[in-house]
Amino acid sequence: MTSSEDTGGLAALLTKFPGRRVLCVGDVMIDRSIYGEVKRISPEAPVPVVRVTHETSELGGAGNVVRNLAVLGARCAFVTAVGDDRAGRQVGDLLGQLSDIEPYLRVSRRRETTIKNRFFSLDGHHLLRADRETVLALSPEGIADLTRSVTAQMNDIDAVILSDYGKGVLRGGLAEAVIAAARKAGKPVVVDPKGADYTRYSGATVITPNRSELADATGLSVDGDAAIVAAAESLRQKFNIGSVLVTRSGEGMTLLSGKDVHHLAAETREVADVTGAGDTVVATLTLALAGGAALPLAARLANVAAGIVVGRHGTAVATADDIGTALRHTGFANADQKVAGLTDAISRVMEWRRLGLKVGFTNGCFDLLHPGHISLLRQARAACDRLVVGLNSDASVKRLKGPERPVQNESARAAVMASLSAVDLIVIFGEDTPLALIEALRPDVLVKGADYARAQVVGGDIVESYGGRVVLAELVPSQSTTATIAAMKSSKAKS
């Protein structure tokens, strides 16, 4: 786990992300997620029948790297190729929805834009993946065109990413041309590789294979720390790579930089889906390097970001709020998976709604959790499908409850809340009331204890204005944190 000293350094890196300009070159695709009800097996074959209810489309491949860069506040020049088809036009539309992205798209009638169709049941089980794609190197004219786009950007960027998904964009000499131009301009190059021949990546600053890719590229064993280090060193020497960062899924990462070896433990305890985790790693690592971070510290930050996205389903991204929240709660089991900043909380609530789920909200200080709190949370969760808890920050609790409160800091309170099955998401807020949080999240159900009158419930009028409802939960008699603290003080005085 990350030490408190490291945490401060890592958090400081996040402040350097906004405004950094990254050149990303690679294979773009559309990640389409199709959700449906599964209630029976087909009479035609032993396969489930999916009644499709809705679907979503996101940028995938190198496009997901760009998405991660965008949510971290970076500016990005994105060089890629698409087919002359509907999916290619959708790539352009999705890029247009991102802030500070300059796309340079080579349209080719010889290509079919890659689409990955993933089918899911409504409870999140992955049923099937069906791909449409063309694996084809660019024409000499296409390579020359993209090379010109790359060299025109080189003096105005801070770092370069090559995101190779093996669809052909980085074949035929483009990868070599990008690395040569970057080295000449003194810019770091981070490569997310594909395939067994890494010759085209020669001269890169950092390369980020996963364990199976490392085995394919070297033909060596990757079982255990020592074997991974040996294979990474072989890769570095054979292909003239500066450093190697091996991603190891649930086992974390291994960084080989010069003679130094760093084994980074995984920053999540539950892996829901590794889709897109490598994209998050390369985006976060590159921005940290662009901000002047030493490679070991940049790798630690990328490891934290990876721990966030593997704890989520689908092609996820990690925002600066996500990473900052995870850093604040480093060391508390499961807190980094349930505690979110406002930006990510809004995104998760929107996704729940796309799945047809009813979102509930309640709030409080939750200092010294007692049976009354548990009863409130259970009743709140029973009124909805997903429960968001607004948790008062330490400063907010102090203003509301007095200078001796809270008894437990917000990290500890969030960790305790995250351990409860009734709670699906926690957002720490610094204001005296959760009004701004309620306005942003627009819950379907707002829950408070019955010690409040309906007219006293903050945000109740807002929720009801768009068709939501307010629920007043029954109270457990004689249960409060204030009474518990008073009883503890009385007992201590008598002793």
Alpha-carbon span 174 to 411, nearest angstrom:
47
Number of domains in the chain: 2
My answer on whether 385 and 434 are in the same domain is yes
Alpha-carbon span 100 to 287, nearest angstrom:
15
Q: Is 173 exposed, middle or buried (0-12, 13-18, 19+ CB in 10 A)?
A: middle
Q: Is residue 447 part of a domain?
A: yes
My answer on whether 283 and 349 are in the same domain is no
Alpha-carbon span 200 to 189, nearest angstrom:
13
Q: Is 489 exposed, middle or buried (0-12, 13-18, 19+ CB in 10 A)?
A: exposed
Q: Is residue 444 part of a domain?
A: yes
My answer on whether 470 and 380 are in the same domain is yes
pLDDT of residue 312: 67
pLDDT of residue 269: 47
pLDDT of residue 8: 56
Q: Is residue 17 part of a domain?
A: yes
Residue listed under structure tokens 């991204």 = 317
Tell me which of 27, 279, 394, 444 is the catalytic residue. 279
Q: Is residue 147 part of a domain?
A: yes
Q: Say if residue 371 is preceded by a cis peptide, omega within 30 of 0.
A: no
| 161: CATH | 3.40.1190.20
* Residue 186: Cβ within 10 Å count: 7
Q: What is the pTM of this model?
A: 0.68
Q: Is 385 considered catalytic here? A: no
Residue of 206, 207, 142, 197 lying closest to 172 (CA atoms): 142
My answer on whether 254 and 377 are in the same domain is no
pLDDT of residue 77: 96
Q: Is residue 40 part of a domain?
A: yes
My answer on whether 290 and 352 are in the same domain is no
Residues 57-83: b if buried by 16+ CB within 10 A, e if exposed: bbbbbbbbbbbbbbbbbbbbbbbbbbb
| 467: CATH | 3.40.50.620
From first CA to last CA, the distance across the chain in angstroms is: 40
Alpha-carbon span 29 to 113, nearest angstrom:
6
Alpha-carbon span 277 to 275, nearest angstrom:
6
Alpha-carbon span 285 to 50, nearest angstrom:
39
My answer on whether 359 and 308 are in the same domain is no
My answer on whether 349 and 309 are in the same domain is no
> How does pLDDT run along the chain (495 residues), one tens digit per residue?
444 445 557 888 888 999 899 999 999 999 998 989 999 999 999 999 999 988 889 999 999 999 999 999 999 999 999 999 999 999 999 999 998 999 999 999 989 999 999 998 887 788 999 999 989 889 999 999 999 999 999 999 999 999 999 999 999 999 999 999 999 999 999 999 999 889 999 999 999 999 999 999 999 999 999 999 999 999 999 999 999 999 987 788 999 998 899 998 876 545 555 667 889 999 999 999 999 999 999 999 999 888 888 766 666 788 888 888 777 665 443 445 688 888 888 988 988 887 788 999 999 999 888 888 999 999 999 989 899 999 999 999 999 988 888 888 888 888 888 888 889 999 999 999 999 999 999 999 999 988 788 888 999 999 999 999 999 988 876 555 555 555 454 555 555
My answer on whether 430 and 294 are in the same domain is no
Q: Is residue 328 part of a domain?
A: no
The domain containing residue 218 runs over which residues?
4-318
Alpha-carbon span 276 to 249, nearest angstrom:
11
Residue of 300, 205, 310 lying closest to 250 (CA atoms): 310
My answer on whether 11 and 79 are in the same domain is yes
My answer on whether 260 and 387 are in the same domain is no
My answer on whether 385 and 240 are in the same domain is no
Q: What is the DSSP letter of 210?
A: B
Rg (CA), the chain: 25
My answer on whether 271 and 359 are in the same domain is no
Which residue(s) pair with 367 in the sheet? Answer: none
Q: Is residue 375 part of a domain?
A: yes
Q: Is residue 329 part of a domain?
A: no
* Residue 255: Cβ within 10 Å count: 25
pLDDT of residue 6: 55
pLDDT of residue 274: 64
Categorise residue 258: left if φ over 0, alpha if ψ from -120 to 50, beta otherwise.
Answer: left
Residue listed under structure tokens 């080989």 = 256
